Chains A and B, each alone.
Chain A
Amino acid sequence: MKLSKHILILSLLVLSSLSMLHSQTIEETIRPVTNAIAIENATIISKPGMSTNNANIVIKNGIIKSVGANARIPKNAKKLKGDSLYVYPGFIDALGHIAIPKAKEEENKDRPKSPGMATHKQAGITPELKASTIINANDKTVAEWRKMGFTSAHTVPKGKMLPGTGALILLKGSTAEEMLVSDASSLYAQLQGSGRGAAPATVIGVIYKYKELYRQATQAKNHESMFSRNSVGAKRPVYDKALKAFYPVIDRKYPVYFKANKSLDIHRVLQMQKELGFPLVLTGVKDGAAVSSKIKSANASVLLSTDLPKAVEEKKEDDKKEKEEEISEETKAMTARKNEAIKNAESQFLQFNQQGIKTAFTSADAKSKEFFGNLKRMKDAGATDDMILAALTTTPAELLGVSNLMGSLDNGKMGNLVVLNKPMLEKGAQIKYVIIEGELFEYEIKQKKAKKKGDGEEVSSEALKVLLGDWEYTIDTPDQVRKGGLNFSGSPDEIIGVISSDDMGGDTELENVSFSNNEISFNFDIEMGPNTATLEVEATVDGEDMTGNMTVGEFGTFPFSATKVSPE
């Protein structure tokens, strides 16, 4: 959300310090005072299908030293009591934009005179851009996904058709250098045109351009090697950094990670792969089970989005009767088909596994808060714990070519692990520790508040209904009235809120959403230049109206109101 200029300037001064304070309270980082760390007497799931009770794990100098019931714990090790805790290999994000800052706005202003005259940069063709060169170690996504148990990530630049070359990072460290495991792990591609400003604008433009670049790269590479053998009297090879970025793919050193959300995208990418023959991982898949046999025969792997459609609504009996008459046959039939589509999305992960397709997860376009909840839905649809654990650990390690480094809790591997109070997808499971290369991150296990009647602390599912659904908000700032959408979903345990507006260029997750006695409060972050500001909202819900205030740091408070557009 862009605020008007004078708000921006003032709030920059005031808020930058506030928002920093805010981010530091999210988690407590404990600097290692010893180079050894040990967890005693825990249940250790060292890899999918292998679990040991009452076992110890010792990490020294960032490397797993010993694992098992008899693992000896060095005297100087920092000991963590593992009784009733569950230790898993640290999760690996198979592809995402963790630690990658948002694209700068000036870049969008750089437009060619005519779309056909676009430079590669204007066209979104920057395969040579290494994620490693733009990583921001302090980006909030690092802590956000670490909190979900992720210890390493394959991160790629954001952009259009060919955003760049991916890097493998650890989710710790204060500089890009400290985080990097590999600075060249993939070529990232999307079917996304650059829009009106530059060619290719449409999906047909992107497909032709990708094929042309790949053929040109193959040709240029052959030319180069011929030239290096005999340069006398030969034509000099062209120097093109974009084409050079394809060479490792042509040499099959690493695959192209091609974003393909829907089945049609998958068909299109597979068609290109059939023509050109590059190693392929399909990423961001949301709707692809119907194409699984084609994916399988193309020997491609799949990164499933952890973003699922909203779950099928469970209606209560009395509720049902009341509404029965209003709902037309057509709506009922369409709802049934929609629900079927939701179920398909939930069972997709299982289907890919059953087909024997290597399947992992991508954090791109997904909300970290919904991560475990959505994994649970995939489990409810039939996936096993081992399938899910493999997709978070051994499979991404294999796809990224780092099975020797990470993915399981074996001696000699990196000390990357995640420790929970319960088995991973059990109700009430929470993360207590995340350890990355021996560095400990500790999280508070939240005890469920006991319900006290009249206290107003806990809100019932029934009372929450008034909040859930889509809202349209209005903020009266001094110079302008701003409007946008709000959505609330979830349960009394965890209310999920999302705010969106054209100004923000998309959705922003709300934080600290609390709702009781019809009083709603939440806050969210906005980007203001290089800084992040936190906006706090407090309002009262009355039927379909919400009225209250929004506080923008110490700058001021503005009237905030919203009306309900549709229930959940």
Chain B
Amino acid sequence: MKKYIIIISLLIPIALFSQQIEKGSMLIKNGTILTVTKGTIDKGDILIKDGKIHKIGRDLKATSDMEIIDASGMFVMPGIIDAHSHLGIDAVNEATSPVTAEVFVGDALNPFDIGIYRALAGGCTTSHAMHGSANAIGGQCETIKHRWGTEDPEVLRMKDAPRTIKFALGENPMRVHGEGSGIQPATRMGIEQVFRKAFSEAKQYKAEKAAMINGVGPLYNERMEVLSDILDGKIIIHCHSYRADEIVMLMNVLKDFGVNKICFQHVNEGFKIAPELAEFGASASVFADWWAYKFEVYYSTAYNAAILQRNGVITSINSDSRELIRHLYHEAAKSQKYGGLSDDEALALITLNPAKQLGIDNRVGSIEEGKDGDIAIFNVHPLSVYAIPQYTIVDGVVRFNINEDPDDMRLYVDPNEDIQTYHYEAGHGHDHDHDGCMQDVFETGLFEEKH
């Protein structure tokens, strides 16, 4: 009998462990530590224990089982956070209705997306995997940690991160639904009404549920459930937006329905209404210097981030791109060049501020004792144009190592892939949408509209 118990108890932890998040312990020695919140420490050490920053100081001692990274001459910063990305998900837009609050990109996480590893190669440890901008009220988004190596989508989730949802203003929902299907919204006026109608319906649904008689309430409706949660302040809105007038419109709508948790995304004309945004308590996630790619984005400035930040709006710089996410540190440096932000202010644009916008600043976004062991180590100062990430660490586990990672970092290999064809076609100059890595690009939804 005893023997069996021993055998069983040996087996159980393995089965349970397989889905658990890997957490590491390590000592990062002798680096220039850019804490973002508590200044810069020269020749400092960081001790990470079980995935959390245990101690920051000098001459810290590692236990014998700990990995030690010698960061002499290197710069150590908090893992970069991207508040707007579409990595690691197999569907971006459920573009079938102006309101799709019911869908959740977290239902289709894809830990095999090679983009996650490439983001790590840019020092990025956390990203906000967002629904697209086809609908006025899009789907719910997921905050993921770049735990490259896991094959379990559940492990990618940043557990306990607040729920978020995508909203969108302007041309995208107008084009998809107004032009595409001939329904509301065909204009910006229509978009306002989509929000008002959706919130009003949700209020009604909530009331019907509250008035439930004999256990019989309204038929369960996922869309109304999610909208009710927005009204109840349980979900942070992240709204795709460009023009100042429509941003003010949405703030007015939210005021009317008593909702105040919102981060405006892109917000290219944010500089025009920075005081209004600050007063509302809205935050802003912007591009460093990218605009004029369509009519409604005609008007912006590279000073946008600095103006917003100096007016008291919590501001971040995002990528919204598989490529930009690999060098957000350059993007942050641009706003320093144009807007004259301090190092800490510029670094906060890609660390602490996006963490605040995602409601995860208690765990990540700066190098502080008690926070997650998410660290990016650079050869030179990360705001330098010569910066190259050397190590990227998530939960105390090295997930990117520029010197030791093998060439082929794919987690998934398609047994039917045609290796010959690629080389043949590449060699003969045929048009081909593969890039050099032969990555099997996963299907991502119907429309690839993201901006």
Contacts and interface: CB of A to CB of B under 8 A. Distances in A.
Interface string A216-227: 100110110010
A290 interface: yes
Contact of B103 (A204, A268, A342): A204
B95 interface: yes
Interface in B201-236: 213-216, 219-222
Interface residues on B, range: 35 or more
A219 B183 contact: no
Contacts of A263: 151
Contacts of B413: 334, 337-338, 340-341
Interface stretch (A50-58, A76-84, A112-120, A527-535): A112-120
Interface string B88-109: 0011011111101011110110
Contact of A271 (B107, B407, B416): B107
B102 to A, nearest CB: 5
B418 interface: yes
Contacts of B446: 195-196, 201-202
B128 to A, nearest CB: 16
Given A202-B91, A205-B94, A263-B151, A114 B104 contact: no
B151 A566 contact: no
Interface string B343-373: 0000000000000000000000000000000
B12 to A, nearest CB: 10
Contact of A114 (B97, B139, B415, B424): B97
B135 to A, nearest CB: 9
Interface in A198-218: 198-205, 207-208, 211-212, 215-216
A331 B418 CA distance: 11
B86 interface: no
A481 B90 CA distance: 37
Contacts of A322: none
B421 interface: yes
A278 B421 CA distance: 44
A10 interface: no
A331 B103 contact: no
A198 B96 contact: yes
B153 A114 contact: no
A234 B408 contact: no
23 contacts: A113-B183, A115-B181, A116-B96, A116-B183, A118-B96, A199-B96, A201-B95, A204-B105, A207-B104, A208-B102, A208-B107, A208-B222, A212-B102, A215-B220, A220-B219, A223-B216, A264-B153, A267-B154, A271-B107, A328-B423, A331-B419, A331-B423, A337-B408
A238 B98 CA distance: 27
Contacts of A294: 18-19, 152
B112 A212 contact: no
Contact of A205 (B18, B103, B219, B420): B103
A290 B220 contact: no
Contact of B15 (A118, A195, A220, A297): A297
Contacts of B93: 202
A121 B112 CA distance: 34
B340 interface: no
A335 interface: yes
A208 B106 CA distance: 11
A110 to B, nearest CB: 16
B416 A309 contact: yes
Contacts of B91: 202-205
Contacts of B220: 212, 215-216, 219
A118 B183 CA distance: 14
A220 B420 CA distance: 55
Contacts of B189: none
Interface string B412-451: 0111111111011000000000000010000001100000
A219 B214 CA distance: 13
B39 interface: no
A204 B94 contact: yes
B219 A334 contact: no
B240 interface: no
A222 to B, nearest CB: 8
B185 to A, nearest CB: 12
Most buried by A among B103, B416, B420: B103
B177 interface: yes
A138 interface: no
A234 B96 contact: no
A275 to B, nearest CB: 10
Given A234-B214, A331-B423, A333-B407, A268 B107 contact: yes
Given A341-B414, A345-B415, A113 B181 contact: yes
B361 to A, nearest CB: 27
Interface in B3-19: 15, 18-19
A192 to B, nearest CB: 12
A207 B107 contact: yes
B441 to A, nearest CB: 14
Nearest to A199: B96
A340 B417 CA distance: 12
A325 to B, nearest CB: 14
Given A200-B94, A264-B153, A341-B415, A235 B445 contact: no
Nearest to B14: A293
Given A309-B416, A310-B416, A290 B219 contact: no
A344 interface: yes
Given A235-B216, A310-B416, A116 B108 contact: no
A338 B410 CA distance: 11
B140 to A, nearest CB: 9
Contact of A212 (B98, B108, B221, B416): B221
Closest 10 CB pairs of A and B: A116-B97, A199-B96, A309-B415, A115-B96, A114-B181, A341-B415, A202-B91, A207-B107, A204-B103, A205-B94
Contacts of A333: 407-408
A330 interface: yes
B162 interface: no
A113 B96 CA distance: 11
B219 A216 contact: yes
B334 to A, nearest CB: 34
B164 interface: no
Most buried by B among A118, A204, A219: A204
Interface in A167-202: 195-196, 198-202
B436 to A, nearest CB: 9
